[in-house]
């Protein structure tokens, strides 16, 4: 490949990706990448931090391989250069005032750190975003809005950012508070006629972590105060991170508030897949000095799947039990101890790759062998991507295993297909209906 062709390859890749990710994703992850050099053997890219590199490789390795020179191993030949941060970006010059919060005011759960946060496909994106924000508060995604179901690790991630900033940006003034506590704070200060002091406190922060914003709904008087604080901080590039059980658009809050929250990066935290649940069980049980064999960890993870907090409850029970008795943990014993925690309606237990392939093949009028094959013919490729999308959505198994059942594809191909179809069904009504039709066929 000529140097110029390689350069063009990169430009074409960027153009291709731009049509395939949301504009926020593009602005946050792709736009900051700079092409420094291209030779016929490799391409050098400058990235602002390691997370951008990870994001690129995790999501687009296969696509990159189509556009760029390859290494002997078949991987795209990219050399990454991470931009160094100027040291001034790491510290705050604001004078310390004894009245203002000091890090000791900060209440963070000591176990909620990045180190104790287990990553998997369902939370990788949001974790990278949180790590990015912790590394460069106020300089990357602001606000960062994290939403997802109960017990999936939102508060854990919020506190992880707090710990990291406390450790690495010692001078930054940071506060972590639940929305309830914030409202109570306002009430107390109104009563004590010290509301100005409180406003000053919050508006002088460098980083505000605010949990469970859904509790601001239907609290009109407080919403306005909150929104003002929010705007003041954002206007000064102070970092805000919000956790919520719903995306901004679904919260019953004023348009102004919703718009502010959508300003930065909105990241979804999904329920962990089977392998991640197993990793969480292993990690949490080791923390409690309990050793759970792999087979038992899988057994528990197969039966408790929608909430990490329940997984922890299960480990606590097992750990209490093992302290009291010497019984060896096998599936029967575990089922006796945990039986009532086990979820009955195991999700999509019976749905198989075969049934997905069959329905997709019927609706898209292609053959199953073609879906599993390598053809890049447009109709076949689309059917393959839809089948991969549905497999990831409907089958609770490791991505690697699912991908392998498509004629040995890789897990990044699967993620790429999933992302593409999820985006397309937002804008392409025909495709959305076809996918719904396949889904109904599979479910009935
Ligand atoms: P949420 O705020 O989303 O309701 P939490 O952050 O309180 O959930 O998490 C519930 C529990 O599950 C916490 O003890 C947390 O440590 C644990 N947890 C959730 N996700 C993970 C994860 N990915 N890795 C490790 N622990 C997790
Ligand atoms: Mg929480």
Q: Is residue 308 in some structural domain?
A: yes
pLDDT of residue 344: 66
- Check if 150 has its Cβ closer than 6 Å to any atom of ligand 1: yes
User: CA-CA distance, 125 to 121, in Å (whole number)?
Assistant: 8
Percent of the chain with pLDDT over 90: 51
- Enclosing domain of residue 11: 3-82
Q: Which of 66, 86, 54 is nearest to 15 (CA)?
A: 66
Is the alpha carbon torsion for 37, 40, 42, 47 positive or negative? positive
Query: 325 C-alpha vs ligand 2 centroid, how far in Å?
Result: 34
Return the best residue to mutate from 115, 156, 307 for the ligand 1 pocket (most ligand atoms within 8 A of CB). 156
CA distances (Å), 423 to each of 359, 382, 418, 428, 431, in order? 21, 13, 9, 9, 11
CB 59 within 8 A of CB 412: yes
Pairing of strands 34-38, 43-47: antiparallel
Query: 356 C-alpha vs ligand 2 centroid, how far in Å?
Result: 35
Query: Are residue 265 and residue 283 in the same domain, yes or no?
Result: no
Number of domains composing the chain: 4
Q: Is residue 152 in some structural domain?
A: yes
Query: Are residue 177 and residue 298 in the same domain, yes or no?
Result: no
Structure tokens at 299: 């057994």
Is residue 90 scored above 60 in pLDDT?
Answer: no
Query: Are residue 263 and residue 288 in the same domain, yes or no?
Result: no
The tens digit of pLDDT for each residue in 29-69 reads 788 898 888 888 899 998 877 777 877 888 888 888 888 88
CB 243 within 8 A of CB 207: no
CB 358 within 8 A of CB 329: no
Which residues make beta-bridge pairs with 405? Answer: none
Is residue 86 scored above 50 in pLDDT?
Answer: no
pLDDT of residue 159: 97
- Check if 153 has its Cβ closer than 6 Å to any atom of ligand 1: yes
Is residue 348 scored above 80 in pLDDT?
Answer: no
Residue 241: its H or E element: strand 239-244
For the beta carbon of residue 279, count every other beta carbon within 10 angstroms: 16
Which residues make beta-bridge pairs with 243? Answer: 146
Ligand nearest to the CA of 285: 1
Better pLDDT: 239 or 47: 239
Structure tokens at 197: 């002091």
Mark which of 225, 249, 269 sits at the end of a domain.
269
Closest C-alpha to ligand 1, atom 26: 117
Query: 342 C-alpha vs ligand 1 centroid, how far in Å?
Result: 18
Query: Are residue 181 and residue 233 in the same domain, yes or no?
Result: yes
Sorted by sequence, the CB contacts under 8 Å of residue 28 that are 6+ apart come out as: 129, 140, 141, 265
- Of 56-60, 117-121, 132-136, 234-238, the least confident: 56-60
What is 311-372 written as a DSSP string? HHHHHHHHHHHHHH------HHHHHHHHGGGS-SS-TTTT--HHHHHHHHHHHHT--HHHHH
Query: Are residue 416 and residue 360 in the same domain, yes or no?
Result: yes
Query: Are residue 11 and residue 115 in the same domain, yes or no?
Result: no
For the segment 385-403, the average pLDDT, to the nearest whole number, is 89
User: CA-CA distance, 212 to 286, in Å (whole number)?
Assistant: 29
Q: Is residue 228 in some structural domain?
A: yes
CB 129 within 8 A of CB 24: no
pLDDT of residue 349: 56
User: CA-CA distance, 229 to 212, in Å (whole number)?
Assistant: 17
Q: What is the CATH number of the domain that holds 185?
A: 3.40.50.300
- Check if 308 has its Cβ closer than 6 Å to any atom of ligand 1: yes
- Check if 156 has its Cβ closer than 6 Å to any atom of ligand 1: yes
Sorted by sequence, the CB contacts under 8 Å of residue 85 that are 6+ apart come out as: 135, 136
Better pLDDT: 118 or 343: 118
Better pLDDT: 15 or 344: 15
Query: Are residue 234 and residue 186 in the same domain, yes or no?
Result: yes
Closest C-alpha to ligand 1, atom 6: 153
Query: Are residue 254 and residue 111 in the same domain, yes or no?
Result: yes
Query: Are residue 301 and residue 417 in the same domain, yes or no?
Result: no
CA 147 to chain centre: 9
Structure tokens at 78: 């990219």
Mark which of 48, 82, 116 sits at the end of a domain.
82
- Check if 313 has its Cβ closer than 6 Å to any atom of ligand 1: no
Query: Are residue 298 and residue 315 in the same domain, yes or no?
Result: yes
Quote the Cα angle for 308-313-317, to 5°: 145
- Of 233-242, 247-256, 319-328, 415-424, the least confident: 319-328
Residue 199: its H or E element: helix 195-203
- Of 4-13, 275-284, 340-349, the least confident: 340-349
- Check if 123 has its Cβ closer than 6 Å to any atom of ligand 1: yes
Is residue 173 scored above 80 in pLDDT?
Answer: yes
Is residue 297 scored above 90 in pLDDT?
Answer: yes
- Check if 312 has its Cβ closer than 6 Å to any atom of ligand 1: yes
- Using the atom order of ligand 1, give the atom closest to the CA of residue 283: 25
User: CA-CA distance, 143 to 209, in Å (whole number)?
Assistant: 10
Output DSSP code: residue 143.
S
Query: 153 C-alpha vs ligand 1 centroid, how far in Å?
Result: 3
The HSE-up count of residue 205 (CA atoms within 13 Å, CB side) is 30
Closest C-alpha to ligand 1, atom 21: 153
Query: Are residue 223 and residue 282 in the same domain, yes or no?
Result: no
Query: Are residue 369 and residue 316 in the same domain, yes or no?
Result: no
Q: Is residue 287 in some structural domain?
A: yes
Query: 63 C-alpha vs ligand 1 centroid, how far in Å?
Result: 33
Residue 225 pLDDT grade (very low, low, confident, very high; cuts 50, 70, 90): confident
Q: Is residue 288 in some structural domain?
A: yes
């Amino acid at each position: 490949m000529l140097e110029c062709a390689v350069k063009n390859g990169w430009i074409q890749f960027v153009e291709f990706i731009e049509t395939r990710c949301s504009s926020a994703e593009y602005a946050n992850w792709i736009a900051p990448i700079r092409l420094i050099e291209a030779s016929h053997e490799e391409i050098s890219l400058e990235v602002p931090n390691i997370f951008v590199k990870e994001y690129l490789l995790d999501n687009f390795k296969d696509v990159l391989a189509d556009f760029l020179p390859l290494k002997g191993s078949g991987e795209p030949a990219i050399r990454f250069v991470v931009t160094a941060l100027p040291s001034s970006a790491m510290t705050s010059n604001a004078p310390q005032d004894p009245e203002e919060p000091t890090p000791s005011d900060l209440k963070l759960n000591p176990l909620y750190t990045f180190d104790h946060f287990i990553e998997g496909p369902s939370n990788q994106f949001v974790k990278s975003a949180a790590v990015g924000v912790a590394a460069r508060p106020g300089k990357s995604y602001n606000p960062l809005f994290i939403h997802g179901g109960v017990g999936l690790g939102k508060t854990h991630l919020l506190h992880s950012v707090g710990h990291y900033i406390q450790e690495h940006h010692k001078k930054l003034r940071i506060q972590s508070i639940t929305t309830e506590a914030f409202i109570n704070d306002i009430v107390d200060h109104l009563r004590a006629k010290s509301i100005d002091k409180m406003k000053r406190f919050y508006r002088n922060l460098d980083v505000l972590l605010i949990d469970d914003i859904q509790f601001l709904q239907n609290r009109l008087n407080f919403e306005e105060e909150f929104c003002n604080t929010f705007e003041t901080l954002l206007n000064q590039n102070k970092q805000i991170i919000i956790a919520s059980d719903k995306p901004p658009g679904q919260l019953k809050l004023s348009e102004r508030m919703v718009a502010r929250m959508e300003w930065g990066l909105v990241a979804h935290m999904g329920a962990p897949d089977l392998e991640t649940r197993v990793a969480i069980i292993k990690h949490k049980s080791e923390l409690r000095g309990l050793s759970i064999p792999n087979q038992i960890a899988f057994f528990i993870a197969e039966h408790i799947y929608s909430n990490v907090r329940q997984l922890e409850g299960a480990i606590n029970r097992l750990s209490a039990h093992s302290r009291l008795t010497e019984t060896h943990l096998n599936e029967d014993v575990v089922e006796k101890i945990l039986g009532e925690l086990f979820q009955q309606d195991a999700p999509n237990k019976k749905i198989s790759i075969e049934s997905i392939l069959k329905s997709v093949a019927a609706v898209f009028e292609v053959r199953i062998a073609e879906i599993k094959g390598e053809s890049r013919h447009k109709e076949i490729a689309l059917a393959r991507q839809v089948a991969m999308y549905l497999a990831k959505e409907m089958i609770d198994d490791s991505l690697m295993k699912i991908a392998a059942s498509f004629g040995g594809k890789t897990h990044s191909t699967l993620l790429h297909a999933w992302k593409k179809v999820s985006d397309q069904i937002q804008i392409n009504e025909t495709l959305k209906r076809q996918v719904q039709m396949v889904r109904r066929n599979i479910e009935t």
